[in-house]
Amino acid sequence: MPRFEAQIWLPNEHPYQVETSAANIFAAKQIIARREGVDEKYVNRMFLIDESQSESSSQNESGGSIDSGGLIGLILIICGGMILVNFWPIILGLSILGLIVWIIKVMND
């Protein structure tokens, strides 16, 4: 069940934070208001606590290398595309020249 964090803002008091588990944000607000003995209008700044991030970082440290590998691959694809777009006449000329050399070599054998 998801966990939610909220701040209780009572008049003439400092706000304080509380946490609870609930099916959704509305149920969490009701639970917190009932548990703290305040009206729901004093329960503010509701946030969903992302527990999956802390669990995944404690379970496996190699996840960062996978993300950086994907980033490096993306950068290489973008750079290759830029080279292709900027130097297409040279690449096309060399490709045609290589094709002609290959055809001549195949014809002579």
Q: Are residues 42 and 28 in the same domain?
A: yes
pLDDT one-digit tens code per residue, 78-93: 999 998 899 989 989 9
Quick check: 10 and 42 in contact, CB under 8 A? Answer: yes
**Residue 30 scores a pLDDT above 70:** yes
pLDDT one-digit tens code per residue, 90-109: 989 999 999 999 999 999 98
Quick check: 8 and 48 in contact, CB under 8 A? Answer: no
Q: Are residues 45 and 82 in the same domain?
A: no
Q: Are residues 50 and 64 in the same domain?
A: no
pLDDT one-digit tens code per residue, 40-49: 899 988 888 8
Q: Are residues 7 and 51 in the same domain?
A: yes
Q: Are residues 7 and 49 in the same domain?
A: yes
Q: Are strands 3-8 and 43-49 parallel, antiparallel or unpaired?
A: antiparallel
Domain of 85?
60-108
Quick check: 96 and 103 in contact, CB under 8 A? Answer: no
**What is 10-42 written as a DSSP string?**
-TTS--EEEEEE-SSHHHHHHHHHHHHT--GGG
Q: Are residues 7 and 48 in the same domain?
A: yes
